[in-house]
Structure 1
């Protein structure tokens, strides 16, 4: 007879755990980690100095409301700080939103190749994740709206999307919002917004400012290079902030992370250098891989999705093994329903050139 023991809530053991991009290449002296969309330029030196300074006083609790950080974000974007909530990265905030607005039997919609944390957070709250199909690896407004039912409480939209790098223009986001019932929360996850250089893109600030059911997520992990500190924030209507502050952990942002975030968001020069570097090398890598005959999904973020041929021995799995042996670590995206593709972060100049040279060798292209 099996002994009784505590059991998790129904559905928890059905969740496939989130697996981060790998970071090692056994037996290789120098590894280029291109699997997690990290900044090749790293954080602002000001952020590092601020982090070190606070590190001298680790005995003190942080400000439970992250007041100074919210004020810094508000100054940078012209926002009301009372409508900003900060957290330990976007993952923390996605789970906070799900906990606050989903219960058993509810539904939440996300797109086919959307961020894997969405279904994890949805299922963990006893709700049902509902997948909307995409068109050309891009979220499709009509498909999303067709999945909305009276049980729908949240729609998650990553814009730009990870791992595809595609985006919806602002007029399509507004069309999506207009088609949703007023009691459905639209979550715009704009983790890669700073990299987008398109005139028809807007991260979501305007829509949040004029709506009662839109929330915009942002992160310090990408453009600001602070992934190790786990720092994110969202901008939302006052009533949503009031509700979620009631269940938010009181010290969910550490003092070193807050100090580094304040310094990072104030270093506009470092931000602009990071944007310019990404723009230059995103275009270069895309062009060079196309010369090799590889299909690359057009990306507006700091990564690209590379599609491999169906030729035996030349697929994504074989390419990943070939690259890893050379210290070039990329991201398999099978879990995103993209079994024959790899996601590559835009890395340093050295890393980018090595990837192109290695893939030329892998494909057997003449020099």
Structure 2
């Protein structure tokens, strides 16, 4: 049997393993961009209530969840598709439009999962160079060919956290052939200016070759439950629903997410706290002479000194040993001595800054 070429040339990175902290220390996770602020009490209560009936399958259409999302954001529930995290939906969109030998385009330092989707499908992945870590629309457009089927674009980007202005997103779309699907990954959309987020969502809803993906894993604090959703044109949703897993979101997750989306007061508070902590960490990084990329997510991409004794790998080992803090190196190409450091709460962030001071001295 001949296997697709991607099987022989997978992305050069293994799945991470949740570490065990040193004896007597509690794991502090700052490695995978989780929220340190828990979830809405409404979501918690809804999850508890649904857990009382675990012998019943979940609604395979996620009707209540889609209805809640639609009411909150003034969207037609028939244009919404729910997934086991937004990552499942990236894969579903890829499987709908891409075949072996087709092309997928992404920005040079785009979300690693975009490359994983290409590898699974046996697609040719093309990465567009960036300008100061920001997506270059002209570079993306220069790569478009007859084989291009899908462009992945995260706003804000992960792992850099940088933001492509909405006008540039619109310009990219307007210059694309109608046969190319533009997927806007707004996993960190809640951290955008609300006017920008609203404009992106409305623009996506108006065009037949745009899919917008969102998640409950970040600002909503439901990472453990794995719930995401996509806004897609009506001609596309039947196919996406056919390709996704049947009953792909468990019943407890559906109930929690449907309640969480109604509690925007909680989300606003999380975003405000995160913004304050990002500014707090940026001030200390600057004081310590650390290079970082100013971003808009719940993390800061941080570069370490080019000295073996003060490298990212050494610091990652140091903070785990000293305080049970979990960090990871950046696996994306072009970041050999960087770490994408998640923003914790103030106590966790002060602890990390103190460890930075010790380590850099």
**Does residue 244 of the first structure (1) align with residue 247 of the second (2)?**
no
Deviates more, 1:239-248 or 1:176-185: 239-248
**Does residue 360 of the first structure (1) align with residue 360 of the second (2)?**
no
20 and 83 in structure 1: CA distance in 2 versus 1, 3 angstrom threshold: farther
- How many residues matched? 359
Whether the aligned pair in 2 keeps the contact of 1:169 and 1:201 (CA below 8 Å) is no
Deviates more, 1:59-68 or 1:317-326: 317-326
CA distance in 2, matches of 1:101, 1:330: 35
152 and 325 in structure 1: CA distance in 2 versus 1, 3 angstrom threshold: same
Whether the aligned pair in 2 keeps the contact of 1:292 and 1:360 (CA below 8 Å) is yes
Q: What does residue 331 of structure 1 align with?
A: 328
CA distance in 1, matches of 2:76, 2:150: 24
User: Following TM superposition, by how much is the alpha carbon of 1:25 offset from its aligned partner in structure 2, in angstroms?
Assistant: 2.9
Q: What does residue 59 of structure 1 align with?
A: 55
**TM-score with structure 1 length normalisation?**
0.93
**Does residue 184 of the first structure (1) align with residue 187 of the second (2)?**
no
Deviations, residues 295-332 of structure 1 (Å, cap 9, x unaligned): 11101111001111213311211121222212221121
Whether the aligned pair in 2 keeps the contact of 1:23 and 1:329 (CA below 8 Å) is yes
Q: What does residue 75 of structure 2 align with?
A: 79
User: Following TM superposition, by how much is the alpha carbon of 1:39 offset from its aligned partner in structure 2, in angstroms?
Assistant: 0.7
Q: What does residue 21 of structure 2 align with?
A: 25
Q: What does residue 156 of structure 2 align with?
A: 160
Deviations, residues 124-164 of structure 1 (Å, cap 9, x unaligned): 11211111111111111111111111100000001101111
Whether the aligned pair in 2 keeps the contact of 1:21 and 1:331 (CA below 8 Å) is no
Q: What does residue 277 of structure 1 align with?
A: 273
Q: What does residue 224 of structure 1 align with?
A: 220
Q: What does residue 3 of structure 1 align with?
A: none
After superposition, residues 96-245 of structure 1 pair within 5 angstroms as 96-197=92-193, 204-245=200-241
User: Following TM superposition, by how much is the alpha carbon of 1:71 offset from its aligned partner in structure 2, in angstroms?
Assistant: 0.5
Whether the aligned pair in 2 keeps the contact of 1:190 and 1:203 (CA below 8 Å) is no
CA distance in 1, matches of 2:197, 2:75: 19
CA distance in 2, matches of 1:203, 1:35: 31
CA distance in 2, matches of 1:199, 1:207: 12
**TM-score with structure 2 length normalisation?**
0.95
278 and 331 in structure 1: CA distance in 2 versus 1, 3 angstrom threshold: same
CA distance in 2, matches of 1:200, 1:88: 26
CA distance in 1, matches of 2:205, 2:191: 22
SS in structure 1 at match of 2:81:
strand
CA distance in 2, matches of 1:21, 1:145: 37
Compute the RMSD of aligned alpha carbons.
1.7
Q: Which of 6, 14, 21 does residue 9 from structure 2 map onto?
A: 14
Whether the aligned pair in 2 keeps the contact of 1:21 and 1:35 (CA below 8 Å) is no
Deviates more, 1:197-206 or 1:330-339: 197-206
CA distance in 1, matches of 2:101, 2:315: 42
Deviates more, 1:169-178 or 1:9-18: 9-18
SS in structure 2 at match of 1:54:
helix
Deviates more, 1:178-187 or 1:8-17: 8-17
Deviations, residues 199-252 of structure 1 (Å, cap 9, x unaligned): 656573122222111110000000111111110000011111122122222211
Whether the aligned pair in 1 keeps the contact of 2:4 and 2:100 (CA below 8 Å) is no
Deviates more, 1:310-319 or 1:174-183: 310-319
25 and 134 in structure 1: CA distance in 2 versus 1, 3 angstrom threshold: farther
Q: What does residue 259 of structure 1 align with?
A: 255
SS in structure 2 at match of 1:304:
strand
